[in-house]
Amino acid sequence: MAIALPSDYPLFLNDLKARIRHAQLKAVLAVNQELIALYWSIGRDILHRQTTERWGTKVIARLSLDLRNAFPDLKGFSRTNLLYMRAFAQAYPEPIVQQPVGQLPWGHNVLLLDKIKDPSQREWYAQAALEHGWSRTILSLQVENRLHERQVQAAKTTNFPDRLPRAQSELAEQTLKDPYIFDFLSLGTQALERDLEHGLVEHITKFLLELGSGFAFVGRQVHLEVGREDFYLDLLFYHMKLRCFVVIDLKTRAFKPEYAGKMNFYLSAVDGILRHPQDAPSIGIILCKDRNRFIAEYALKDINKPMGVAEWQTRLVESLPEGFKGSLPTVEELEAGLSDAEVEGQSSPQD
């Protein structure tokens, strides 16, 4: 039976929603400013040491490795990102907290560093991005379409106010979902599942190694750099019998078709970056908590690379060389391993 609500209830609810969104935005934007300030300060210190102590690229690579080992949950310390921090500090010698770039997400700043060399133009686009709430995609399009050149005369008579983007703007929405923010804070939807994911990763790693089917552990959260962007593999093994890499993408949710496309990209990247000429093509395994058999089948139907979903391995098995179809875990073994991991994940903290 429907509950009789007060007549002003819809207005009250809308007001609460607006206040919650406003509070969310203020909190995330404040954290974003802290993150950008941190990146600027790291870049400044690297720049100083490269100038005074002749630090080379090998030192930056070592620094990246040490920081990622110290903070495995933070994905902002790749060698590429450290070099961007250095370029960021070089482009903005003065502290950036009060500057427009200090209020933009890191991805926006990287885009501006990549695409625009003139400092005054970078400042113009940063101001415009804040004023209009541009997402990174829109900002990129505006730069490519040379908006600054087309509007520079009008811009001379306009003072863009230094204000926060509206809650409904694309920039605000993107900032609320920014992965660097959530990793920096260890907050958000990803972080809420992090403990469960870590437990599953450890369990699956141990489970596969104990099968004795030829799995050799390579690493977890294995970093790949493609097109100057950073990607991380949940688990990477090398299979001694199949003579190939095995990429495992772990999902705590039900299988979605886009997971297959992501795995296809991972396999291409591993084959292009890590695979030795004598290795066989890499294999992908998507481990999901649940799956719809028909969705998984259609998602894998026209993909040429050998991959499979843990509970639906038809294409994975069919794609293997005839003599090696028994070299990977069976569907039943994988399901049993996932079931055990789920039980462990539900244990109390004292366990």
> How does DSSP classify residue 53?
S
What phi, psi does 230 have (nearest 5°)?
Answer: -105, 135
Model confidence at 170, pLDDT cuts 50, 70, 90, reads: low
Residue 106: the pLDDT is: 92
Average pLDDT over residues 301-329: 58
CA distance 181 to 191: 11
pTM, entire model:
0.53
What residues are paired with 149 via a beta bridge?
A: none
Is the pLDDT score of 2 beyond 80? no
The more confidently predicted of residues 232 and 333 is 232
Is the pLDDT score of 28 beyond 60? yes
CA distance 45 to 25: 30
Q: Residue 233's Cα: distance from chain center in Å?
A: 11
Report the candidate in 251, 246, 260, 247 with the shortest Cα–Cα distance to residue 213.
246
Edge-first strand order for the sheet with 307-309 is 215-226, 229-239, 244-250, 283-287, 307-309
Within 13 Å of residue 313, how many CA atoms lie on the same side as its CB?
Answer: 18
How many degrees, rounded to 5, is the angle at CA 131 between CA 129 and CA 136? 20
In one-letter notation, the amino acid at residue 107 is G
Please report the domains of the chain, with CATH numbers, ordered by start residue.
11-177 (no CATH), 193-345 (3.40.1350.10)
Is the pLDDT score of 305 beyond 90? no
> How does DSSP classify residue 213?
S
- Quickly tell me which residue has 């391995």 as its tokens: 313
Residue 323: the pLDDT is: 46
- 107-146 in b/e burial notation, b at 16+ Cβ within 10 A? bbbbbbbeebeeeebbbbbbbbbbbbbbbbeebbebbeee
Residue 90: the pLDDT is: 94
**Which stretch of 116-120, 274-278, 318-322, 333-337 has the lowest confidence by average pLDDT?**
318-322
Helix (H) or strand (E) holding 230: strand 229-239
**Furthest C-alpha separation in the chain:** 75
Model confidence at 195, pLDDT cuts 50, 70, 90, reads: low
Cβ contacts of 256-261, under 8 Å, gap ≥ 24: 256/295, 257/295, 257/298, 257/299, 259/286, 259/288, 259/299, 259/309, 260/286, 260/299, 260/300, 260/303, 260/307
Is the pLDDT score of 162 beyond 60? no
Model confidence at 150, pLDDT cuts 50, 70, 90, reads: low
Helix (H) or strand (E) holding 141: helix 136-144
> How does DSSP classify residue 228?
T
Cβ contacts of 302-307, under 8 Å, gap ≥ 24: 303/260, 303/264, 305/263, 305/264, 305/267, 305/268, 305/281, 306/281, 307/260, 307/263, 307/264, 307/267, 307/283
Is the pLDDT score of 145 beyond 90? no
* Calculated CA dihedral for residues 328, 329, 331, 332, nearest 10 degrees: 160
CA distance 320 to 114: 42
